[in-house]
Amino acid sequence: MINYVKKRRLMAGLFCVALAVFLTGCGDKDGSSSATGPVVYTVDGSWSGTTSQSQAISFTVASNAVTYLKIKISFGSGGSVETTVWPNSCPVANNSFTLTSSGTTTLTVKGSFTSNTAANGTFEYGSTTGTWTARR
């Protein structure tokens, strides 16, 4: 009789654990999964957008690397410069990139891909700085 009671309690306990695991699930309220690893976006293609100065920025990503970038930058004095860069190597890693081009004035453009079709970042050209957004 004691073994029978122990078995019933054990079975009831196992049933409760199984039910709790089943009800917990592994998704969010909207049914999407909560993956533990980072999301890697597909970003190859042509991108275009505007800077915080209302100027144009465009770039191309091929094989997960920035292969071309063109940006127009305005200066407080009223002048502007349009710079085109064909980097030797500017890989996209962890959904972001940093492109630096040294010439008379150093240009640094940093970007982050926030989805397969949206990106944003910052730029610095000498002492002139700003932000940008782009879409594919």
- Report how far apart, in Å, the C-alpha atoms of 46 and of each of 5, 15, 76, 83, 92 are: 70, 55, 30, 17, 14
Rounded Cα distance, 87 and 71, in Å:
14
Supply 58's token pair.
Answer: 């465009």
All residues at 6 or more sequence positions from 106 whose CB lies less than 8 Å from its CB, including other chains? 100, 124, 125, 126
Per-residue pLDDT tens over the stretch 26-42:
334 444 445 567 899 99
Site of tokens 């989805």: 115
Per-residue pLDDT tens over the stretch 119-132:
999 999 999 999 99
Give the pTM. 0.72
The CATH label, of 2.60.40, 2.40.128, 3.40.50, 2.40.160, for the domain at 45-135 is 2.40.128
